[in-house]
């Protein structure tokens, strides 16, 4: 196999925020202190070495990028101030931009002002598109009739189109990443699904990746020492992260329940429902969970509560702001829905809510949100490799 050396790799990485890791002399202090290093005597410094010598393919095929939770312990102990924790975060940004096919992630990460302009334009496009079909004058309803304002079919098909675009870009990135990881680890299709034993191993690795780590946050919760008892529970990073994920998934579940009820002919979209109705109750609890997580993350980045939040990129702020606007406008609409006399502002908040939610969905493969796709893949390979070592 030919090894390609990219002499511009370090310079390129710096555009994504890396501190100067050329000072790293591979002393191993970061490995000794990292709570996630396990028996890997080269984690995380091997990835730094790839960057130093210009091994782009090796860097992009390193599952270690995604097994780091950026607790920052290594950066605090590095004798040369190479900031390995921030380097790992930078390398993940670089990987997201390298996996996706359009170049939009690179713009968002390396030209944050332009990225923000693009984000505002995309949201404006969604809002204006819906506005061309909206009809506020023709509504004569005692409650907020959101889907008389914007037809539910329009919102539905706009959502389907956005999801298709998001899945296409996301699937492209996941396939590229999977191929890079498999090549570097020497994992073949036969290793994953070539026999019953292989399928059993893969199922166990998938459970470890998705169930135990992604949803259960096991290592983040148990091993990452930035969550020492001194850190108040309400702002421990694993908990805030978990509440954000569960809130997001809960909202997705509430949407699916609503859709299922419509398909079953039990409830039509837009029909007024009480607060205790399953999809509304789940949506409210999940929305509160999401808002809590996103608000604490915003405060943490603003006040720099943890080493992971000492440095924030434009993309970090963009993603959290979009999430916060989506959650907040969702609750404003809920208040308007149960107000006695339907307020006109409820309709405008609905337009803003749907436009930003669509944009958020479309942006998944191009922002930090993409780690929700890539980290489980890396954790799957990590679990497979651990199983092979045993």
Q: Which residues bind ligand SF4 (CB under 6 A)?
A: 24-30, 34, 36, 44-45, 48, 68-74, 78-80, 82, 84-85, 88
And the tokens for 313? 């990129």
Return d(Cα 343, Cα 32) in angstroms, integer.
60
34 vs 286 by CB, closer to ligand SF4? 34
202 vs 306 by CB, closer to ligand SF4? 306
258 vs 316 by CB, closer to ligand SF4? 316
45 vs 353 by CB, closer to ligand SF4? 45
Q: How far is the CB of 375 from ligand SF4 (least distance, A)?
A: 13
And the tokens for 35? 């709570």
C-alpha R_g of the chain: 23
Look up tokens 């993603």; give the residue: 319
Asked if residues 180 and 58 have their Cβ atoms less than 8 Å apart, the reply is no
Q: How far is the CB of 238 from ligand SF4 (least distance, A)?
A: 12
Q: Which of 77, 24, 17 is nearest to 47 (CA)?
A: 24
52 vs 269 by CB, closer to ligand SF4? 52
35 vs 112 by CB, closer to ligand SF4? 35
* Helix/strand/coil for 232: coil
Asked if residues 62 and 24 have their Cβ atoms less than 8 Å apart, the reply is no
Asked if residues 56 and 294 have their Cβ atoms less than 8 Å apart, the reply is no
Q: How far is the CB of 84 from ligand SF4 (least distance, A)?
A: 4
Residue 90, judged by CB atoms within 10 A of its CB (0-12, 13-18, 19+), counts as buried
Return d(Cα 218, Cα 80) in angstroms, integer.
31
Q: How far is the CB of 35 from ligand SF4 (least distance, A)?
A: 6
Query: What secondary structure letter does DSSP report for 4?
Result: P
Q: How far is the CB of 99 from ligand SF4 (least distance, A)?
A: 20
32 vs 268 by CB, closer to ligand SF4? 32
CB atoms within 10 A of CB 263: 8
Distance of CA 279 to the CA centre of its chain: 24
26 vs 188 by CB, closer to ligand SF4? 26
Q: How far is the CB of 379 from ligand SF4 (least distance, A)?
A: 13
Q: How far is the CB of 374 from ligand SF4 (least distance, A)?
A: 16
Asked if residues 296 and 97 have their Cβ atoms less than 8 Å apart, the reply is no
Angle at 34 between CA 5 and CA 88, to 5 degrees: 35
Q: How far is the CB of 96 from ligand SF4 (least distance, A)?
A: 17
């Amino acid at each position: 196999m030919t090894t390609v050396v990219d002499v511009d790799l370090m310079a390129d990485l710096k555009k994504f925020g890396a501190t100067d890791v050329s000072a790293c002399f591979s002393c191993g202090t970061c490995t000794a202190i990292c709570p996630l290093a396990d028996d890997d005597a080269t984690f995380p410094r091997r990835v730094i070495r790839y960057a130093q010598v210009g091994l782009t393919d090796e860097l992009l095929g390193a599952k270690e990028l995604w097994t780091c939770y950026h607790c920052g312990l290594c950066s605090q102990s590095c004798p040369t101030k190479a900031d390995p924790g921030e380097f790992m975060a930078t390398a993940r940004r670089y990987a997201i931009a390298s996996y996706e096919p359009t170049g939009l992630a690179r713009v968002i990460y390396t030209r944050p002002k332009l990225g923000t302009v693009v984000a505002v334009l995309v949201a404006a496009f969604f809002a204006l598109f819906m506005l061309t079909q909206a009809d506020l004058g023709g509504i004569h309803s005692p409650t907020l009739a959101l889907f008389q304002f914007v037809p539910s079919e329009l919102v539905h098909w706009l959502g389907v189109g956005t999801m298709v675009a998001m899945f296409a870009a996301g699937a492209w990135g996941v396939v590229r990443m999977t191929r890079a990881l498999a090549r570097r680890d020497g994992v073949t299709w036969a290793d994953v699904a070539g026999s019953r034993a292989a399928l059993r191993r893969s199922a166990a690795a998938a459970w470890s990746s998705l169930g135990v780590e992604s949803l259960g946050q096991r290592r983040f919760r148990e091993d990452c020492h930035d969550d020492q008892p001194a850190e108040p529970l309400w702002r421990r990073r694993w908990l805030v992260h978990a509440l954000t994920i569960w809130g997001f998934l809960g909202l997705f579940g509430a949407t699916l329940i609503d859709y299922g009820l419509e398909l079953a002919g039990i409830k039509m979209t837009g029909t007024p429902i009480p607060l205790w109705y399953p999809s509304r109750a789940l949506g409210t609890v999940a929305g509160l969970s999401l808002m809590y997580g996103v608000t604490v993350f915003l405060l943490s980045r603003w006040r720099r509560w943890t080493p992971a939040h000492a440095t924030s990129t434009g993309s970090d702020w963009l993603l959290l702001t979009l999430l916060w606007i989506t959650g907040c406008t969702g609750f404003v609409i809920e208040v308007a829905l149960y107000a006695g006399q339907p307020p006109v502002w409820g309709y405008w908040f609905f337009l803003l809510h749907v436009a930003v939610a669509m944009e958020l969905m479309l942006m998944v493969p191009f922002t930090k949100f993409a780690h929700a796709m890539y980290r489980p893949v890396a954790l799957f390979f990590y679990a497979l490799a651990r199983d092979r070592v045993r």
